[in-house]
Amino acid sequence: MVRAPHVLSCAVVAWLAAAGCSSSSSGTGATTPDNPPPPQTSSSPELDKLMRTRMNVAYSQLVYLVFHAESGPDFSAIAGESAKLTEAIAKVLSLSPPPVVQSEQARQVYRDYNNTLQRDNEKFVAATSRKDMAAMSSTLTKIGDTCSACHHFFRVEIKDAAE
C-alpha cells in the first residue's frame, strides 16, 4: 500500500511529539515548584474505556461480518455495527486528546488521524448502503490502517486490571 507523503511526515512529527519534543508553558522548559513537569502518563481513562468497550468491539464485529462471515454478508448486522462505530468515532472526536499528545504538532497529527478515520467511516457507511462489498472491504481496511497508525504513534498504556 502506498501512503501519501504527508501521512509519513505527520507520522515523523507524531513520533517526535510523543518522544517529548514539546516545551513547557513557561517557555524555558525549566522545572520549578511553580512550573512542574507535565504528567508523564499516556493514559486517558475515558478514551481507554471507549476504545476497549465500543470502538474495538464494533470494528472487530465489522471485520468478522465483512471478511469472515461464512453465510455471506448480513447487511442489516453490518449497518448496525457500523452505526455503533460511527457513534464511537463521534465520541472520540468530542474528547480531549490523550496526555501523550502534548505539542501543537502532535495535536494536529492526532486531529488528522481522527478526521481521516471519520471520513473513511463515512465512506464505509455509504458503501454499506449501496451493498458494495469491494468498497466496504477497502474502506474497512483503511479504517484499520488509520487506527493502527494512530495507536503506533500515540501509544496508550493499558494497565492490567490486577495492577
Quick one: pLDDT at residue 43?
60
Residue percentage of the chain with pLDDT more than 90: 48
Please determine, for residue 142, whether its predicted confidence score (pLDDT) is greater than 80: yes
One-letter amino acid identity for 77?
A: A
pLDDT band for position 34 (cuts 50, 70, 90): low
Q: What residues contact 105, with CB distance under 8 A and at least 6 apart?
A: 13, 14, 16, 17
**Which of 30-39, 40-49, 112-121, 146-155 shows the lowest mean pLDDT across its residues?**
30-39
Quick one: pLDDT at residue 135?
97
Q: Which CATH superfamily is domain 44-153 in?
A: Cytochrome c/b562 (1.20.120.10)
